[in-house]
Amino acid sequence: MTILDGLATSKQIKNEIAVEVSQLVAAGKKRPHLAAVLIGDDGASLTYVGSKVKSCEEVGFKSTLIHKGSETTEAEILAIVDQLNNDDDIDGYILQLPFPKHIDEHKVLMAVDPDKDVDGFHPENIGKMALSLPCFLPATPAGIIELLARYKVPTEGKHCVVIGRSHIVGLPVAILLQRNTYPGNCTVTIAHSRTKDLKALCATADIIIAALGKPEFVTADMVKEGAVVVDVGITRVADASKKSGFKILGDVKYDEVAPKTSYITPVPGGVGPMTIVSLMRNTLLAMKNRG
Amino acid sequence: MTILDGLATSKQIKNEIAVEVSQLVAAGKKRPHLAAVLIGDDGASLTYVGSKVKSCEEVGFKSTLIHKGSETTEAEILAIVDQLNNDDDIDGYILQLPFPKHIDEHKVLMAVDPDKDVDGFHPENIGKMALSLPCFLPATPAGIIELLARYKVPTEGKHCVVIGRSHIVGLPVAILLQRNTYPGNCTVTIAHSRTKDLKALCATADIIIAALGKPEFVTADMVKEGAVVVDVGITRVADASKKSGFKILGDVKYDEVAPKTSYITPVPGGVGPMTIVSLMRNTLLAMKNRG
């Protein structure tokens, strides 16, 4: 059993990016600049944005955090988006979701310039991904793909079961893994809440991508001996023994599943850090695309 | 066993569209106008475009066929696309593919205004489809979905195996059938040339969508008793006994498979006519969207 160490891999990739940024800046190019828009004070969102800003520093990017109160109107957010679209120094930016309930997230997303959409959430980028065209891949699926690639995990002809059909993880990772490339060429099954006999289906899988957001859902009896298991779940569960008051659980019951697998991602330290690194890679790409 | 009669269903839908067009025109609205761009003299392409023009007449649309020789340059085609984008009377248009080899199809496609892309091939429309947003659905997948809906074929929780991952049929129909709606909510498996043991996989399927383009590939031993079989194949095979010199074969060995199924599409007269009807529906939608 090999642990797919997302933390170590993400550090390595950050080093690679930092070296490239130094070289670009030394050659007179501009420093990549990522902006993040955060509305309100959701604890998890604050943590995520904080990690992204810190990662920008580590790789030598400029970063700008635009943090507004939860009473911010949709019109005000659209004005921020318009300003970011037109700011020549900003190479890419992200909208930290969820927004407060009175904001139409879709309307705001559609206002994002696809060329600055480093989250890869705009329909034009999703469509290009499906058509195997150059684009910004959504960060979590791209992080999973990169992790499989770095560990040279075989994928061709493998049966991959993706549990969960969300627009930001399940569906795009399914699309990526069926593509005619490496990592890819999997026979992909998309499973979800309406799937019948999910246990039996998972037990046939060579690769399981668990992205349903239910802590410790995938148990040992659902996993074939030698399978590859990628755990996308990150659920906060109250834990009085922790200083933070909570612990992070994945979608996989790690202790009993891990011994059966050929490769498995831990939580934390698996897919999470790879997601942030994908965002850094997209930002660097955006800067290069803009010449 | 019920035959999913695409020909009869397409006639019914055409009647519905014709009635709506009459009402719209009577209310002072413009008549929907579809244009088609055909480059060269490929026999199959001529036939397809001819059917589309004929369908426009049947439903009361205006149609314009722009037919140029195979020596037409990419710049000339891009100029045609630009003109169609800016022609206020044109509600939607299609590029009849394949183009001659010296043309970069992707470059031309990217120049199409997504709001006039009634083939639903532009990345923005593909992405919106994946995100379940209003869009022009690609014609063949939309036709399949509509046929299943008209016959009230149960799909929720069914295991659907899509054979083929093409950008215009296999992948989009897989995306549509996994969505949280009806028809949809299938557990979808995307199979392709790298899939191992496709026969065994198909034999577990409640619904098979055969879209690989290999005549009579799906045989009775690959089909579960009571399965739904949708045949997207249309391959021309030489047949001296026919006036045309060829016959049309589907991807399914119909005679031996049909008796095992609960529903099946014939070839011809199944998915084919539904595809053209989807194009008519998209054109009507384009006209309405443009107000």
Angle between helices B123-130 and B170-178 (to 10 degrees): 30
Residue A66 has pLDDT above 80, yes or no: yes
Q: What percent of chain A has pLDDT over 90?
A: 97
Domain boundaries defined on chain A: 28-113, 139-272
For residue A126, which residues of chain B lie inside 8 Å, CB to CB? 123, 126-127, 130-131
CB contacts < 8 A (A, B)? 113
Q: What is the pLDDT of residues A98-155, one digit of tens each?
A: 999 999 999 999 999 999 999 999 999 999 999 999 999 999 999 999 999 999 999 9
Query: For the domain A139-272, what is the CATH code?
Result: 3.40.50.720
Contact B188/A187, CB-based, under 8 Å? no
**Confidence tier at A290 by pLDDT (50, 70, 90):** confident
- Classified as helix, coil or strand, A147 is helix
Q: Decide if pLDDT at A43 tops 90.
A: no
CATH class, range A28-113 = alpha beta
Distance from CA of B149 to the nearest CA of A (A): 18
Strand partners, B62: B33
pLDDT in tens, A200-227: 999 999 999 999 999 999 999 999 999 9
Nearest residue to A288 (alpha-carbon basis) of A105, A17, A68, A56: A17
Contacts of A216-222 spanning 24+ positions with Cβ under 8 A: A216/A249, A216/A250, A216/A251, A216/A252, A216/A253, A217/A163, A217/A251, A217/A252, A217/A253, A218/A163, A218/A251, A218/A252, A218/A253, A218/A257, A219/A253, A219/A256, A219/A257, A220/A253, A220/A256, A220/A257, A220/A260, A222/A198
CA of B158 to nearest chain A CA: how many angstroms apart?
7
The SS3 of residue A199 is helix
- Tokens linked to A75: 């019109």
The reported pLDDT for the residue numbered B43 is 85
C-alpha A114: how far from chain center: 18
Looking at residue A291, what is its pLDDT?
A: 75
Which stretches of chain B drop beneath a pLDDT of 50?
none
Q: Which residues of A are catalytic?
A: 52, 96, 119
Q: Which of B136, B173, B195, B207 best probes binding to A when mutated, by most A CB atoms within 10 angstroms?
A: B195
Same fold, A28-113 and A139-272: yes
| pLDDT for A137 | 98
Kindly determine whether residue A191 and residue B196, on different chains, have CB atoms separated by under 8 Å: no
Q: How many Cα atoms occupy the beta-carbon half-sphere of A197 within 13 Å?
A: 7
Tell me the helix, strand and coil percentages in chain A, rounded to 5. 45, 20, 40
Q: So what's the pLDDT on residue B291? A: 75
Rounded to whole angstroms, how far apart are CA atoms A47 and B95? Answer: 48
ipTM confidence score: 0.94
**Fold entry, domain B140-272:** Rossmann fold (3.40.50)
Which residue in the set A123, A128, A196 is minimally distant from B131, CB to CB? A123
CB contact under 8 A, A189 and B189: yes
Contacts of B130 in chain A (CB under 8 A): 123, 126-127, 130, 167, 171-172, 175
Over residues A25-37, the mean pLDDT reads: 97
Q: How far is B252 from chain A (nearest CA, A)?
A: 21
